[in-house]
Amino acid sequence: MPLDFTLDEQQLQLRADARKFADEVLSGVAPAIADISDPGKCFDATKPFYQKMVDAGFQKMLIPPEYGGSEFSALAFALATEELARVDVNVPTTLLVTGLGVLPIIRLGTPEQKARWLPRFTDDQPRLAAWAFSEVTGGANYDSPDPKFGAQTFALRDGDSWVINGAKQFISNGAGWDNEGPELMCVFCRTDPEAPPHESLALIVIEQGTPGVEIIGAIDTIGHRGASTARIEFNDARVPAENILGKPGDGMDLVQYGFSWTCTPIGAACVGRMRAAFDIAYEFARTDSRSGPHPVIEHQNVGYMLADLKMRIEAARYLTWKTADHFDKTDGKDREMANITKIYCSELAVQAVYDAMRLVGIESYTKRNPLSAIMEDVLVFPIYDCGNMGMRRRWMHEMFRNPTYDPLAAAENRLSYDPLAPAGTLLSTV
């Protein structure tokens, strides 16, 4: 049977619906936030647009059907994300982060926990979830084997409660609407200051309004102006003991699983932003002569630059599709393709947008041209969501060091390695 990248009718309809929604609804985001300088108010101004995403069913697609949702596959999510991010990256980011916030509950929650928390995101209200991961000192060494280092947010057991102390920053959706916090926040913390990460790292759910959770404020960023990122402090925040997901130590696997899931929508968002940049550069080349006798597209160098841009878009798109499909087929167990996609697409997007700016020239550096805003958006892709240098490449390095690593596995739709195999094990398939 030949390899076939043809989308079926349902996938084509999903893509068409997402494209229509982006053009008709999300096109209003940029004008709505253009004159707002305060980052918190900028985020709040996107709430009507997020409500429309909820009304269109996008929030329900994060939740499994048995809890009232219509959960999308990773591939379906990628198809929709590309179209949405082509027009606006802010509101889709809010949706993505909500998906990341509920993912640990879906992955490791008990039936009681799932029944308690997941249906909230299917009631047609614009609810937010968050994942409080990054420490104020940085997150790259979260799993340091020396318990004196790494994650320094602690949840200590006190009777039938966990008492949480520490500080986090760059917490997307962390401030919530009107600075009231998200509906739910999965807090990445240590349950024992003396124990190594594989015994103590955990995710504990904090609900909106919990005493001891202080939202210090929204962090001002150069791009993603309509997305929320906050600093949060936990001061003796007390939550029920049953709010832990799994057991202490399970946080290690949940981190890599969760941030593997985000890779394909981020890859798709990079494709969407590159498409937007290409469209601007292409229209410029076709219509602007730069005081010359004919449009600049007639110049060979401009044609070559457009060809390079288009090749990057196509390569990133199909890598993202491959990774999404592989994630679905392996139930998220494969981490190699996920990290490759996050690293490759995010760094490619920066180069592609820069080249589109080079093609257009100095006008692209002004606020009058949308390429400058696109560049501000794509610059964060390589350094957020477990930055490429701090964590993504390290995860790949660790995989290469595993004796079961098989370089051909990803190409053959198999798992690249077995992280649980004893040292020295040779593994051809998993």
Give which of 153, 54, 41 is closest to 94, Cα–Cα.
54
Which of the two residues, 371 and 330, has the higher pLDDT score? 371
pLDDT in tens, 139-182: 888 888 887 888 999 999 999 999 999 999 999 999 999 999 99
pLDDT category, 413, cuts 50, 70, 90?
A: confident
d(CA 354, CA 347): 11
Q: Picking from 64-73, 103-112, 133-142, 412-421, which range would have the lowest pLDDT averaged per residue?
A: 412-421
Structural domains of the chain ordered from first start:
9-122 (1.10.540.10), 129-250 (2.40.110.10), 262-412 (1.20.140.10)
Contact of 256 with 395, CB cutoff 8 Å? yes
Token representation of residue 270: 């990079």
Q: Averaged over 246-268, what is the pLDDT?
A: 95
- At 66 the pLDDT is 97
Token representation of residue 344: 């490759």
- At 422 the pLDDT is 47
d(CA 252, CA 310): 38
Residue 52 confidence (pLDDT) above 90: yes
Residue 283 confidence (pLDDT) above 60: yes
| CB-based burial, 27-39: b 16+ in 10 Å, e otherwise | eebeebbeeeeeb
d(CA 143, CA 395): 11
Contact of 375 with 392, CB cutoff 8 Å? no
Residue 117 confidence (pLDDT) above 60: yes
Residue 100 confidence (pLDDT) above 70: yes
Query: Which residues, other chains included, contact 2 with Cβ-Cβ below 8 Å and sequence gap of 6+?
Result: none
d(CA 264, CA 259): 10
Could you tell me whether strands 161-172 and 213-218 are parallel, antiparallel, or unpaired per DSSP bridges? unpaired
Token representation of residue 107: 């992955």
- At 145 the pLDDT is 84
pTM of this structure: 0.95
One-letter amino acid at 176 equals: G
One-letter amino acid at 254 equals: L
Contact of 87 with 30, CB cutoff 8 Å? no
- At 423 the pLDDT is 42
Q: Averaged over 339-351, what is the pLDDT?
A: 98
- At 2 the pLDDT is 58
Residue 272 confidence (pLDDT) above 80: yes
- At 141 the pLDDT is 87
d(CA 159, CA 152): 22
d(CA 342, CA 272): 14
How far are the Cα atoms of 68, 74, 320, 327 from residue 409, in angstroms, in the given order? 36, 20, 17, 13
- At 420 the pLDDT is 65
Residue-wise DSSP of 149-185: SS---EEEEETTEEEEEEEEEEEETTT-GGGS--SEE
d(CA 205, CA 169): 17
Q: Picking from 94-98, 389-393, 416-420, which range would have the lowest pLDDT averaged per residue?
A: 416-420
Contact of 181 with 200, CB cutoff 8 Å? no
Q: How many CA atoms lie within 13 A of 243 on its CB side?
A: 26
- At 314 the pLDDT is 97
Percent of the chain with pLDDT over 90: 88
Catalytic residue (one of 88, 250, 385, 406): 385
One-letter amino acid at 393 equals: R
pLDDT category, 99, cuts 50, 70, 90?
A: very high
How far are the Cα atoms of 22, 53, 131, 217, 226 from residue 41, in angstroms, in the given order? 22, 19, 21, 11, 9
pLDDT category, 421, cuts 50, 70, 90?
A: low
pLDDT in tens, 65-83: 999 999 999 999 999 999 9
How many helical (H) and strand (E) elements, i.e. helices and strands, does the chain have? 14, 8
Residue 335 confidence (pLDDT) above 70: yes
Which of the two residues, 144 and 350, has the higher pLDDT score? 350
Percent of the chain with pLDDT over 70: 97
Q: Assign 232 to helix, strand or coil.
A: strand
Give which of 104, 96, 421 is closest to 251, Cα–Cα.
104
Give yes or no: 385 in active site: yes
Cross-strand bridge partners of residue 239: 162
Q: Averaged over 354-370, what is the pLDDT?
A: 96
